[in-house]
Amino acid sequence: MLYAVTMVVDLPRDLDEDVRTETLAREKAYSQDLQRAGQWVSIWRLPGQYANLSIFDVADHDRLHEILWNLPLFPYMEIEVQPLAQHPSALPADQR
């Protein structure tokens, strides 16, 4: 199943610098592992915000929830999830 997920990050300004650095490093490694596995299909920065729009391709809602819940930055995020459905006017990938 495909999902569009918007993640807005709000790290506390007084967060210990070592904790911040370590958390961001874990977040990057975790997201890149999921990208390599094909579950985190793409990630796009939202200009002017500490936010991203990501596309996930996972088996079901439960798997997406597990992925999001385990994000190291999850405690500092506001997340919006939108399931995606194929549009009838979309060209097949091999015709683009």
Per-residue pLDDT reduced to its tens digit, 33-49: 999 999 999 999 999 99
Considering the entire predicted model, what is its pTM? 0.91
DSSP state string for 7-74? EEE---TTS-HHHHHHHHHHHHHHHHHHHHTTSEEEEEE-TTSSEEEEEEE-SSHHHHHHHHHT-TTG
Confidence at residue 93, expressed as pLDDT on a 0 to 100 scale: 79
- Measure the CA–CA gap between 2 and 40, rounded to whole angstroms: 10
Q: What is the band of 50 on the pLDDT scale with cuts at 50, 70, 90?
A: very high
- Measure the CA–CA gap between 17 and 63, rounded to whole angstroms: 31
Confidence at residue 14, expressed as pLDDT on a 0 to 100 scale: 96
Q: What is the band of 31 on the pLDDT scale with cuts at 50, 70, 90?
A: very high
The domains of the chain, with CATH numbers, are 2-85 (3.30.70.1060)
pLDDT more than 90, % of the chain: 93
